[in-house]
Amino acid sequence: MSTYGLPILFTLVLWWSSTIVILYLDGLRQHTFAWSLTLFSVLAALALWGVSATGGDVSAAGAYCAFACGVAAWAWQIATFYLGFITGPRVTACDPSLRGWKRFVAGFQTCAHHEIAIVAMAILMLVLLRGQSNTLAFWTYCVLWWMHASAKLNVFLGAPNLGAEFLPQHMRYLVSYMARRPMNLFFPISVSASTVIAVVLAMKAISAEASPFDAAAYSMLTTLMALAILEHWLLVAPLDTSFLWKWGVKSTPSDNQSILNRSDFQAIVERPVDPRPAALGDDDCARDASDYVRPRGASLGAMESWSSNGPTVCDDVVLSRLLDSIGAGAFGDIHCVKGVLQTRKAWVRFETVGAMSDIAPFAPPGRLDPLVVALGRRIDRVRLQAAFEACAVSQ
């Protein structure tokens, strides 16, 4: 039992605990990020030393050490990305009008430097392990790379559960590059490929010719691939799995509660909010797009409201992307957006609070005009109005 049970348990504990630590540190105030970066950089340096030191150790202990080094090296990549130090040239929300290849390029630009860093570290690990027998650290790093890259592609192409609530505030603009769909064509491919790899690794682990090193190494890699498969299914499963990670997430009230209660929804529909903004100083009206993805805080400027009748008939896919962009901060420090619009199929009502959005069918009690209401600070009214108008279906 210990031949396979201990490697599996070791993998589960290391994977879960490292994820919790990264989520927690990413959710702290930004003045702590330099300390977190230092911590992870020291850890990465030790991991690379460990990769070299364990290269010739093909004992079971060498497998555990090499695996831990591979996880630590990958942890540096994830931490530097979500801390905002190594991301890409684009740090703003996605333009809702982008489609196809242009949207993919814009999405890649948010993580281009991160991907380059991943490749650079993989090459460095190969150099350190040249001619060595124990290459488990490198393959651990590659499996984690695959898990992350495949998950990113799936949420980009579309999945029901995007995990947006786990993104730190300064990275919320990434939500606008995700898409909510029941399924995407890449999902079955990625799950099938991961399953085949997991089966091959499991067969090597239980092979009669497997040494103690092989049994431990392949068991840990098999467990990682199984976790990758589980993570992919959780993207589409109708389950709330936030309890797995809530220990590491530092929530804020603006992320978890609505400015307006749902019981007030009908009153909002029937009585539009006065669109005139509260008085704001010149310094509070940010003009640069980068300010919209990093709101300066609730103390700047009084709460203001915005309302619009919206398009007569809207495209629900474009509306979903727009709500993601609003939650990512593309149009100001908007706390809540809700309203009713008509799509090709039916009326829908929607609400966005923080990075979380919800769209549901709505049966109007009688004749009803489309209406959208937003509450927040430093709302970019012109761009927000244009964005909702762009949701109109093409004639």
What pLDDT does residue 158 have?
87
Return d(Cα 389, Cα 372) in angstroms, integer: 11
Q: Please, what sign has the CA dihedral across residues 328, 332, 337, 341?
A: negative
Pick the closest to residue 203 from 218, 213, 217, 190 (CA basis).
218
CATH topology of domain 253-389: Hypothetical Protein Yjia; Chain: A;domain 2 (3.30.1220)
* Cα separations in angstroms, 294 against 92, 217, 384: 9, 43, 17
Q: Which residues of 133-167 are buried (b: 16+ CB within 10 A; e: fewer)?
A: ebbbbbbbbbbbbbbbebbbbbbbbbbebbbbbbb
Q: Please, what sign has the CA dihedral across residues 291, 295, 300, 304?
A: positive
* Cα separations in angstroms, 314 against 144, 216, 320, 340, 344: 40, 55, 11, 11, 7
Pick the closest to residue 269 from 338, 173, 169, 358 (CA basis).
338
Residue type, 86: I
Return d(Cα 309, Cα 331) in angstroms, integer: 18
CA dihedral 117, 118, 119, 124 (to 10 degrees): 80
Return d(Cα 79, Cα 98) in angstroms, integer: 29
What pLDDT does residue 92 have?
80
Contact 195, 205 (CB under 8 A): no
Return d(Cα 6, Cα 3) in angstroms, integer: 6
What pLDDT does residue 249 have?
63
Return d(Cα 130, Cα 223) in angstroms, integer: 26
Break the chain into its structural domains and give their ranges: 2-248, 253-389
**Three-state secondary-structure class, residue 31:** helix
Q: What size, in residues, is the chain?
A: 395
CA angle 159, 163, 164 (to 5 degrees): 105
Give the predicted TM-score (pTM) of the model.
0.71
Pick the closest to residue 357 from 178, 92, 237, 236 (CA basis).
178
Q: What residues does 306 pair with on adjacent strands? A: 374
Contact 328, 92 (CB under 8 A): no
Return d(Cα 180, Cα 188) in angstroms, integer: 16
What pLDDT does residue 15 have?
93
If you count DSSP H runs as helices and E runs as strands, how many of each does the chain have, helices first? 13, 5
The pLDDT tens digits along the chain (395 residues) read 578 899 999 999 999 999 999 988 988 888 899 999 999 999 999 999 999 999 999 999 999 999 999 999 999 999 999 999 999 999 887 877 788 899 999 999 999 999 999 999 999 999 999 999 999 999 999 999 999 999 999 999 988 887 777 788 788 788 888 887 888 999 999 999 999 999 999 999 999 899 999 999 999 999 999 999 999 998 888 776 666 666 666 543 333 333 334 344 444 434 333 333 333 333 332 323 233 333 333 344 567 888 887 788 888 888 888 888 888 777 878 888 888 888 888 888 888 887 777 888 877 776 777 888 888 887 878 778 878 887 887 64
CA dihedral 18, 22, 24, 29 (to 10 degrees): 160
Contact 339, 370 (CB under 8 A): yes
Long-range contacts of 242-248 (CB under 8 A, 24+ apart): 242/165, 242/166, 244/16, 245/19, 245/20, 245/23, 245/166, 247/20, 247/24, 248/19, 248/20, 248/21, 248/22, 248/23, 248/24, 248/27
Structure tokens given for 183: 């399924």
Provide the 10 A C-beta neighbour count for residue 62. Answer: 21
